[in-house]
Amino acid sequence: MCPRDLMWDSVKVLGMISAVATTVVPASAQQVPASPLAAAPADNRYPDGSRLQAQYASVNQSVALPAASAAVRAAAAGFASAAAVQTDLPDGYSLLPATASHIGAADRQASVAPGANPTAAAAAATEKFITVFPLAYHGVPLSKGSDYLTVVAGDGRVLVTRKRGMPNTFDATQPTVAPAAAVQAARRDAGAAFGGPDPRPELQIWVDDQQKGNLSWTFTLSSGAPGDANVRKYWVAAVGEPRVLNWESEVYHTQSGIVTGNIWATSPSPTTANRALEELEVSRQSDGVTQITGADGRYGYSTAAPSTEIRAKLRGPFFVINNQSSPSMETAQSGPASSSVNLNFGAGGDDQLAQTSAFYWANFARDLAHNILAPTDLANLPVLTNINNSCNAFWNGSSLNFFKAGNNCPNTAYSDVVMHEYGHGIDAAKGGIVHAGYSEGFGDSLAVLATRQPCVGRDFFGPGTCLRPASDVVLWPAASPDPHVVGRPYAGFTWELVQQLKQTFSDDEAYAIAARLVLGAAAANPADVADAVRLSFIVDDNDGNLANGTPHFRAIANAADSRKIPRPADPPVGGPSVGASASFPWTPVKTVNANSNILQATIHLDKPGQVHISADTSASSTGPVQFESGVYNGAQPNVVWTDSYRSFSLPAANQWAAMETKFAIDLPAGDHTIYWKVWIAGGSLSLSSGVMTIEAFEAAGGPAALTTVALGQNQEPGVTVGMSATNPTRSPPGLPNISLSRDDGGRAITVLQ
């Protein structure tokens, strides 16, 4: 007999004993043990079978059991006893199929007939076949607990039968309440914590305390979150009003609690955060049974045990901390089953915080990527912390490895770095690392998506420093022997993708969509950075046709364009266009001698659109002068959209310069007043007739289409350009200082000072 069968047998024996005890001992005389359920929260309710009337009988009847294997004999015992008791059933009742449990004797050879020798006879006396038949009334199953028990000895004698929970009256066998109405009633009763997916109601007869049969819809409501303890089974009347007849908690806990730990929330620092630790294995000292914590750090045992100790290491189904500088952290807490036994990894100092932080952030990364990881992908991954080295971390094909602090670098077992290294692990698990640059960029992307900020490697070279900001504009293809540099346009793409999506979606939605697109591409094993971007369009597509766009085409396209990564062409524009214009005549001559808005026109957009703006005139002066021009949808005279910014000079008096700007930008729905600006100091311009035309087109490929990232004039691929307004470019005398910034909508603007 295999161990599994032994387990099964012992469970059945226990069940048998308790069933007998409830009827033999009068309820008033029962000793009430300290039940582990006694401390169950008030909003849990557990079934109480004692409300059902049971009738035991001794039957002097034998059934024929074949000389065969235990399984065959058990089936025969069930079948034969069913036939024997069927005649005993009241009108309308029927037995539903059941499987007999075989207890109390070793399995026997098929060739040995029962009673053939003394050993076999002794075995037959203790051997029993126990069958619990569920019941139906006119084809409708009765709720659990209403059943018919037969106990058959190994020699074929029917020892005991028990009829339980068999009503004499029934309210109906045909429902008049719709299943959806029953679910609605239960949802009202259960509240928001059970607002998970819609259940599939089934008809059952609920037997109430008065032993009356009530036709009901039964189903389970839950929060829908895995590992969540909010699960209830409902019975709702299926005739008359859909009232709740009964509900029960379906989650059973004995020992339960939360596992937490102190971690570095960002980079290593003396200030720590206490967080729940998910996917961590706890072990119960009394029986060695283990449980895994859920997303909120909760664990709960479903089998009873006495007051005992709960122990945990920083290990679970996905990650196993293997500390290199000292024994790996452990914690333990003793407590009774009736109260929460909470464990805390109270880490202090680099040595311990590296362990808790690596564990926390590795599971965070796993969670972020769970949609593309099979349960066996990267399971039981060793995480080596406090390796006696400094300023680096690595993925080695089968483990994550983090170094101690030293040489002015922090301990590397912190969020950004853990994300980056696990990114290599995901890349390896999804078809292998086929492009080193993409792999580095994907690791950085994962860090951006997890930490929701652009710096990968915060405080790496000291407080306030950043190893690799994804907000840097590093253009594709970043030619470098260092794959970390080659990957930078991809991290930039991911960062910009989030910024683009945030124009239309909430932060949570934007990060969720970006994660889906970036991780979906990773699952498809990209050949390189450009392939990964292309795959994000494919992941986003909803009709197998990239040529007509994808739901988030505009955002992905703008993100790709921001780093000049090749991408599928814009879909053709099918939508309407609108236009607006404004002009001034050649006479009287328009004169400008200070920073001014020289024309304005308003355009109304029903929906986000791409706006093309063209403005031109001719300018002359009475002496040498330099001036700037541009357009913007705000009146402040010193701000223009960066791509509209133009510089001009008139080297001598009475010459003419063509002064023009042509520009395109995506703008959100609404009214936009576009101002044409001139910035001049120390001179005067005379303008011939001028015109500004504005045309807007329905944005191709869906909404969100907003910013284009500004690129400096001298920018080369692979060169980083600071985008900070606090970093003004000092211009030659006579020209304004200009700086690059972003307006409230995230669009690139140039500020003249």
Residue closer to Zn ion (CB basis): 474 or 546: 474
CB of 536 to Ca ion, least distance (A): 13
Residue closer to Zn ion (CB basis): 350 or 440: 440
Residue closer to Zn ion (CB basis): 440 or 628: 440
CB of 501 to Ca ion, least distance (A): 18
Residue closer to Ca ion (CB basis): 537 or 641: 537
Are residues 240 and 212 in contact, defined by beta-carbon separation less than 8 angstroms? no
Segment interacting with Zn ion (CB under 5 A) among 41-49, 303-311, 432-440, 485-493 = 432-440
R_g over Cα of the chain: 37
Q: How many CB atoms lie under 10 A from the CB of residue 436?
A: 16
Instruction: Decide which of Ca ion, Zn ion, none touches 416; Cβ closer than 5 to 8 Å per partner kind.
Output: none
Judged by CB under 5 A, does residue 302 bind Ca ion? no
Instruction: Decide which of Zn ion, Ca ion, none touches 543; Cβ closer than 5 to 8 Å per partner kind.
Output: Ca ion
Q: Rounded to 5 degrees, what are φ and ψ at 34? A: -70, 90
Residues, the chain: 753
Among 9, 377, 531, 541, binds Ca ion (CB under 5 A): 541
Site string for Ca ion, 547-576 (x = CB under 5 A): -x-x--------------------------
Cα separation, 373 vs 318, in Å, equals: 11
Instruction: Tell me the C-alpha to C-alpha distance, in Å, between residue 552 and each of 220, 343, 536, 559, 744.
Output: 37, 44, 10, 11, 22
- Residue 524 CB contacts under 8 Å (≥ 6 apart), including other chains: 430, 535, 538, 539
Q: Tell me the DSSP string of 138-168.
A: TTEEBPTT-EEEEEEETTSEEEEEEEES--S
CB of 570 to Ca ion, least distance (A): 12
Among 545, 602, 737, 753, binds Ca ion (CB under 5 A): 545
CB of 405 to Zn ion, least distance (A): 19
Among 543, 671, 716, 744, binds Ca ion (CB under 5 A): 543
Site string for Zn ion, 433-452 (x = CB under 5 A): -------x------------
Site string for Zn ion, 383-422 (x = CB under 5 A): ----------------------------------------
HSE-CB for 269 with a 13 A CA cutoff: 13
Residue ranges in 222-261 that form contacts with Zn ion under rule CB under 5 A: none
Residue closer to Zn ion (CB basis): 440 or 528: 440
CB of 380 to Ca ion, least distance (A): 40
CB of 424 to Zn ion, least distance (A): 6
Q: Is 83 left (phi over 0), alpha (psi -120 to 50) or beta?
A: alpha
Judged by CB under 5 A, the number of residues near Ca ion is 5
- Residue 656 CB contacts under 8 Å (≥ 6 apart), including other chains: 618, 619, 620, 688
Segment interacting with Ca ion (CB under 5 A) among 186-194, 535-543, 582-590, 643-651 = 535-543
Tokens of 326: 């000292």
Nearest Cα residue to 580 out of 659, 646, 671, 643? 671
Instruction: Decide which of Zn ion, Ca ion, none touches 541; Cβ closer than 5 to 8 Å per partner kind.
Output: Ca ion
CB of 556 to Ca ion, least distance (A): 12
| Cα angle 13, 19, 23; round to 5 | 145
Residue closer to Ca ion (CB basis): 269 or 548: 548
CB of 417 to Zn ion, least distance (A): 9
Tokens of 256: 């339960």
CB of 547 to Ca ion, least distance (A): 7
Residue closer to Ca ion (CB basis): 444 or 540: 540
CB of 182 to Zn ion, least distance (A): 55
Cα separation, 144 vs 203, in Å, equals: 13
Q: Rounded to 5 degrees, what are φ and ψ at 600? A: -145, 150
Nearest Cα residue to 586 out of 664, 508, 644, 656? 656
Strand 101-103 to 54-62 pairing: unpaired
Instruction: Decide which of Zn ion, Ca ion, none touches 545; Cβ closer than 5 to 8 Å per partner kind.
Output: Ca ion
Tokens of 662: 């042509």
Segment interacting with Ca ion (CB under 5 A) among 212-220, 329-337, 400-408, 539-547 = 539-547
Binding site for Ca ion (CB under 5 A): 541, 543, 545, 548, 550
Chain residues in the site for Zn ion (CB under 5 A) = 440
